[in-house]
């Protein structure tokens, strides 16, 4: 019985929720599923190898390592093709013989995180746990394990990524003493954690990632569970200096907002985005670390909307600067670094 799931909650009491595979929401809901679901460990194509190195594993009740390997190699209708291996039987004298005869187990513990480059917006970072099968280890001196990363997307948040549309975007070799990870630098995160960063204003779109383990025989596992996040297209907020004070789109913001400048650190030009939920006089000024005003970027009445302003620091020396916006009762200050 599965009492909790991730997806979209039911809209009526005791109604049916929607599994996250069919929605872009990541809320937790009470599913009350009792006939198995996409987390069913024995479903062919979802999790096909059960061994001392998989999850779930074939260890004893006391977690002592067993010699049993179960390979669910396929299924058709109500019939499943299951191969059971035991060390010392059936011509498999060693565990290694069985490892060579079976694929790796699916990677576990996949999570989404954020990768912050030295300059620019953050990108999705995917982490997972190392596969523990001995035949995953490569290299003679510096040991590493190999994985492939897959991604699927949709054009906007009103549609969901195609579960049959996963495309390999990377093959990574991770040292055995390093947490497996992959940074998708081709994608801008919609919302960065920890730092008050906002990506360029554009179109939000969903992304999903899965990981595959590859052993030394180049036999690949089934895909891991997926992890999801939201990207944003850079179709607003980035441009030449002729776009200073440009209204980025016609939507009216719900709240005042001053975004972190991009890039940061910068040399010598950076861009500052801000949002106004209503019309008002806007003051946007740059200050040095002593509090001295060095430049005024905006000093005029502006309508509600999203705006972008370029700041050129070519006449200033390297160092820490602050930019401050004030409109009606809203005041916000952020820090930026000029490096020449």
pLDDT per position as a tens digit, 120-171: 678 899 999 999 999 999 998 889 999 999 999 998 888 999 988 999 999 9
Whether 124 and 223 map to the same domain: the answer is yes
Report yes or no on 3 lying in a domain.
yes
The pLDDT of residue 259 is above 90? no
Report yes or no on 118 lying in a domain.
yes
Cβ-based neighbours of 80, under 8 Å, separated by 6 or more: 42, 44, 72, 74
pLDDT in tens, 197-242: 555 567 889 999 999 999 999 999 999 989 999 988 865 433 333 3
Whether 153 and 171 map to the same domain: the answer is yes
Whether 320 and 220 map to the same domain: the answer is no
pLDDT in tens, 84-95: 999 989 889 999
Instruction: Give 73 or 311, the one with higher predicted confidence.
Output: 311
Whether 221 and 299 map to the same domain: the answer is no
Report yes or no on 50 lying in a domain.
no
Whether 119 and 221 map to the same domain: the answer is yes
What separation in angstroms does the CA of 133 have from each of 49, 66, 72, 226?
11, 14, 17, 21
What separation in angstroms does the CA of 263 have from each of 115, 199, 249, 274?
15, 10, 21, 15
Q: Which two tokens stand for residue 266?
A: 């910068």
Give the pLDDT score at 175.
95
Report yes or no on 80 lying in a domain.
no
**Residue range(s) defining the domain that contains residue 201:** 111-232
Whether 121 and 10 map to the same domain: the answer is no
């Amino acid at each position: 019985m599965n009492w909790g799931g991730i997806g979209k909650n039911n809209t009526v009491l005791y109604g049916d929720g929607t599994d996250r595979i069919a929605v872009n929401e990541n809320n937790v809901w009470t599913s009350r599923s009792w006939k198995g679901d996409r987390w069913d460990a024995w479903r062919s194509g979802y999790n096909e190898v059960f061994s001392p190195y998989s999850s779930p594993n074939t260890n004893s009740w006391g977690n002592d390592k067993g010699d049993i390997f179960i390979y669910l190699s396929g299924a058709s209708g109500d019939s499943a093709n299951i191969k059971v291996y035991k060390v010392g039987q059936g011509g498999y004298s060693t565990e290694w013989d069985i490892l060579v005869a079976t694929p790796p187990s699916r990677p576990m513990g996949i999570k989404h995180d954020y990768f912050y480059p030295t300059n620019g917006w953050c990108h999705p970072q995917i982490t997972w746990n190392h596969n523990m099968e001995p035949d995953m280890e490569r290299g003679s001196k510096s040991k590493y394990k190999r994985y492939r990363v897959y991604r699927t997307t949709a054009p906007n948040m009103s549609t969901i990524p195609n579960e049959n549309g996963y495309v390999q975007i990377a093959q990574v070799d991770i040292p055995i003493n390093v947490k497996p990870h992959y940074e998708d630098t081709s994608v801008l995160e919609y919302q960065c954690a920890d730092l008050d960063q906002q990506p360029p204003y554009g179109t939000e779109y969903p992304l999903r990632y899965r990981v595959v383990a590859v052993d030394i025989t180049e036999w690949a596992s089934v895909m891991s569970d997926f992890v999801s996040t939201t990207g944003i297209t850079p179709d607003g907020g980035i441009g030449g200096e002729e776009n200073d004070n440009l209204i980025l789109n016609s939507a009216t913001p719900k709240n005042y907002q001053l975004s972190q400048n991009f890039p940061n650190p910068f040399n010598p030009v950076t861009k500052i985005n801000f949002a106004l939920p209503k019309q008002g006089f806007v003051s946007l000024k740059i200050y040095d670390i002593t509090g001295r005003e060095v430049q005024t970027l905006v000093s005029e009445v502006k309508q509600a909307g999203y705006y972008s302003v370029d700041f050129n620091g070519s006449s200033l020396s390297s160092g820490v600067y602050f930019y401050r916006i004030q409109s009606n009762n809203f005041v916000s200050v952020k820090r930026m670094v000029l490096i020449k």
